[in-house]
Amino acid sequence: MEKKKPVAAVLLVLLLGLGAYLSYQYYISRGNGNITATGTIEATRVELSTKSSGTIRTMTVKAGDIVAPGQLVAELQRNDLVAQRERDAIALAKAEDQLADLESGAREPEINQARANVSIARTNLEKTRSDLEKRETLLAQGAVSQDEVDRYRANLQLNEGQLQAAQAQLDLLESGNRPKAIAAARNEVERSRAVLKASDAMLEDLKVIAPRAGTIQTKNYEVGEYVQAGASLASLVDLNDQWIKVYIPTDQLPGVRLGQDVSFTVSGMSETFYGVVVEISDKGEYTPKTIQTKEERANVVFGVKIRINSGGGVLKPGMPADVTFERGPEK
């Protein structure tokens, strides 16, 4: 009988433990208990990175500064891009001048000059024809050689070509520029304008602009340093958009829902803060390695994101928080 007493005691302890566990599970399933979890306060963070490489010309912020959306944070310097922009601006101005000249048509002095050229060419042609007729008469009389007559005939052909060219130039000026030439000039203006726009965009990319309001957490470079494209000049955190990420075990997940109110405390502060569940992972995972014990890391958990509704400006990213999910009675 005495040997049976230790066995009976062990069985009693096991039964009591089993009863306590079943009571706890029933207690949770009925929604009469609260779920607790521990996480770390985080805030939306944005890296203020460069789109281009270059030397930092200005840096308008330092760690702790509050910035507004659209505020200039830094600007790089690229002399080659400045020169490229000036070149493209000159090319556009030239193309616009050429188009304006074609669209305005020929000026009156140009037409008058072309008419004078036609008159001169016609006079020269008539004189050369008259001289040729005289030389042909003299050739028949044996007074001049055949070579001289041939020379006057060649001059006649040359004068005829000069008259035709002068008349064509006059006709062109009087009829105005061809539509195809004007269309080509307009296309060149549009092309030059697009090239200039691209150069302006590259210069604009030398500016680093804050995309949202926040506080500069870190400043990574100084004025005068050369940086590559994509370098983070500073880190911006939005302290008005803080949240906590916690992990809930599978058996407690039914007690968590979107829109659920939570309360939490932070070490070293007596105040209670509040938040709301905004995200629940739809896929389980093993507990992250940041959890201390191997046993806990082996559990399957679901990530839950909680937006902080109250902070009063005292909460900072990195602070540990103990979260309590308020649970009402099951409906």
Whole-number pLDDT of residue 233: 96
Give the model's pLDDT for residue 24: 47
Report phi then psi at 17, rounded to 5: -65, -40
pLDDT tens readout for residues 30-51: 444 688 999 999 998 999 999 9
Contact 231, 76 (CB under 8 A): no
CA dihedral 165, 169, 171, 172 (to 10 degrees): 140
Residues facing residue 304 across a β-bridge: 246, 280
pLDDT number for residue 303:
92
In the chain the first and final C-alpha atoms are separated, in Å, by: 51
Specify the pLDDT at position 321. Answer: 93
The whole model's pTM is what?
A: 0.58
Which of 77, 46, 72 lies closest to 208, judged by CA? 72
Would you state the pLDDT for residue 102?
77
Condensed to tens digits (0 to 9), the pLDDT of residues 49-107 reads: 999 999 999 999 999 999 999 999 999 999 999 999 999 999 999 999 988 877 776 56
Phi and psi at residue 278, to the nearest 5° = -115, -15
Instruction: Centre a 10 Å sphere on the Cβ of residue 181 and count the other Cβ atoms it contains.
Output: 12
Tokens describing residue 110: 């140009």
Is the separation of the CB atoms in 181 and 80 below 8 Å? no
pLDDT score, position 294: 45
The answer to whether 198 touches 92, Cβ cutoff 8 Å, is: no
Full pLDDT tens readout for the chain, 331 residues: 455 556 565 565 566 555 555 444 444 444 446 889 999 999 989 999 999 999 999 999 999 999 999 999 999 999 999 999 999 999 999 999 988 877 776 567 777 788 899 899 899 889 889 988 888 888 888 888 888 888 888 888 988 889 899 888 777 766 665 677 788 889 999 999 999 999 999 999 999 999 999 999 999 999 999 999 999 999 999 988 899 999 998 888 888 999 999 999 998 888 999 999 999 998 888 766 555 444 454 478 999 999 998 766 788 888 999 999 976 554 4
What is the per-residue pLDDT for 284? Answer: 80
Print the SS3 string covering the chain. Answer: CCCHHHHHHHHHHHHHHHHHHHHHHHHHHCCCCCEEEEEEEEEEEEEEECCCCEEEEEECCCCCCEECCCCEEEEEECHHHHHHHHHHHHHHHHHHHHHHHHHHCCCHHHHHHHHHHHHHHHHHHHHHHHHHHHHHHHHHHCCCCHHHHHHHHHHHHHHHHHHHHHHHHHHHHHHCCCHHHHHHHHHHHHHHHHHHHHHHHHHHCCEEECCCCEEEEEECCCCCCEECCCCEEEEEEEEEEEEEEEEEEHHHHHHCCCCCEEEEEECCCCCCEEEEEEEECCCCEECCCCCCCHHHHCCEEEEEEEEECCCCCCCCCCCEEEEEECCCCCC
- pLDDT the model gives residue 8: 61
Torsion angle of C-alpha atoms 21, 24, 30, 35, degrees rounded to 10: -130
Q: What are phi and psi of 157, to 5 degrees?
A: -65, -40
